[in-house]
A = this chain, B = another copy of it.
Amino acid sequence: MSNTIGKMFRVTTWGESHGPAMGAVVDGCPAGLDLSVEEIRRELSRDVPDRRIGTGRREENAAEILSGIFEGRTIGTPISILIPNGDAKSCRYEPLRQTPRPGHADYTWRVKYGHVDWRGGSRASGRECISRVAAGAIARKLLGLAGVSVGSRIVELAGMVVEDDKGLEAAVARAIELANLGESSGGRVRVVVSGLPAGLGEPVFGKLSAELGAALLGIGAVKSIDIGAGRGHAAMTGSESNDAILVEDGRLTFGSNTAGGVLGGISTGMDLVATISVKPTPSISLPQQSVDLSTGKPKTIEVKGRFDRNITPRVAVVAESMAALVLADHMIRSGFIHGSRLELSPLLYKK
C-alpha cells in the first residue's frame, strides 16, 4: 500500500467504505494558516453526488479536526481529519463475497491481498476520495493565499459533448435515460488552475505534468489525461503546436496555450489545463458474467440496490482536490510558499 502523496506537503489517507470512519493526515502545512473545520465541511458537501444521476444517499460528512490547529490557526504539525461513516448496510454485498464484479477492483484486490473487506468496494470505493477532498480543502486554502485557484467543468457526459449549461442539461437527461435502462455512463472533466507562477516542476522525473498526471490517473475511474491540447497535438504541425512568445505590458506571455501551461515539465505562468476521462461506474443492474472464486465456476451476477449511475460530477471535485494537493506541494518545493511558517514566505507576494 502507498497511501501517502507529496514530498513537502504530504497527505496520508485511510479508511474503508464500510468501516467506522475515513480520514486524512496532512503533514507539511506551514504554521499560521487560518483554518476552521467548517471550511473542510463546506468542501466535503461539494462531494455529495448529483441527485439526478447519483445515489441520493445522504453522506454524513461530520468531519472533525483532531490535531494541528491551535487558536484557529495551523501550528505546523500534522492535521488529522476524521470523517465518520454512516451506518451503511453491507448485507447486500453478501452474495458478491466470492464473486468479483466486472469493472471493479474486487478481483485485483483479492489477488494482491488475499484477505479483503468485500463490502462495497472497501478502500477501492469512491467513498475513499472523501479523504482526498478534505485534505484538498487545506491545499486550496493555502493556494488561495498565493493567488492560485483550481476549478473544473464537465466537457462531456454520457457520450455527449458539453459546451454550456444547456448542453449539460441534455447530457444529464441522457445519463438518466441510461440509468433507467440499468446502465451507467461516463464523461470528461477539464481541470483548470489559474494564477500559477512560472517555474513549478522538477525535471526530469518530478515534472509538474507528470506528478499532476499521476495524481489524476490515480483517481478510481479515470482512464486518460490530456495536458493542454493533449492528444490533439499528435495531428498538429509544429507551427500549430508551438505557442508564440509575446510581450504584453512589459511582461512575457504566450499567444496561445496549446501547451496547457507546462513546457519541459515546468509551469509557464499560463493556466494549467488537464482533461481527464471518467469511465462509466461499473455498477449496473444488468446481468454480468463473472466467476465464483470458491468453486471456480462461471456465475452470472446482478448487482442490486441504488448506485451512482454517473460519477463524473463527483470525480470533478476529487480531481480539483488532487490538483490542489499537487500544486500546494510544488509551491512549497519551489519556495513560493514557505514550508514551516507563512510569515517567512517572502516570495509569496512578489511573483
Q: A229-B223, A236-B279 are in contact. Are A76 and B1 (CB under 8 A)?
A: yes
**Nearest B residue (CB) for A125:** B264
A123 contacts chain B at the CB level, 8 A cutoff: yes
Q: A3-B78, A73-B115, A277-B234 are in contact. Are A183 and B263 (CB under 8 A)?
A: no
In the complex, what distance in Å separates the CA atom of A214 from the CA atom of B242?
23
User: Which of A48-56, A143-151, A331-339 touches B?
Assistant: A331-339
Q: Which of B5, B201, B247, B267 contacts A205 (CB 8 A)?
A: B5
Mask of A185-225 contacts with B, CB within 8 angstroms, 1/0 = 11110000000001101111111011101110110100111
In the complex, what distance in Å separates the CA atom of A245 from the CA atom of B96?
14
* Nearest CB in chain B: distance from A345 CB, A: 8
Q: Which of B68, B231, B277, B346 contacts A233 (CB 8 A)?
A: B277
Q: Which of B30, B159, B297, B344 contacts A347 (CB 8 A)?
A: B344
Mask of A226-250 contacts with B, CB within 8 angstroms, 1/0 = 1111111111111111111111001
A266 contacts chain B at the CB level, 8 A cutoff: yes
- Chain B residues within an 8 Å CB radius of A241: 103, 186, 279-280, 282
A1 touches B102 (CB 8 A): no
Q: Which of A22, A183, A187, A247 has the most CB of B within 10 A?
A: A247
**Nearest B residue (CB) for A70:** B117
Copies of this chain, count: 4
A286 contacts chain B at the CB level, 8 A cutoff: yes
A289 touches B246 (CB 8 A): yes
**A274-301 interface with B by 8 A CB criterion:** 277-284, 286, 288-291, 293, 296-298
| Interface CB pairs A-B, < 8 A, 18 | A1-B28, A3-B27, A19-B70, A32-B113, A70-B122, A73-B115, A77-B122, A107-B263, A109-B264, A112-B340, A115-B341, A186-B234, A209-B217, A236-B279, A239-B288, A241-B280, A335-B338, A335-B344
A265 touches B339 (CB 8 A): no
- Chain B residues within an 8 Å CB radius of A289: 244-246, 255
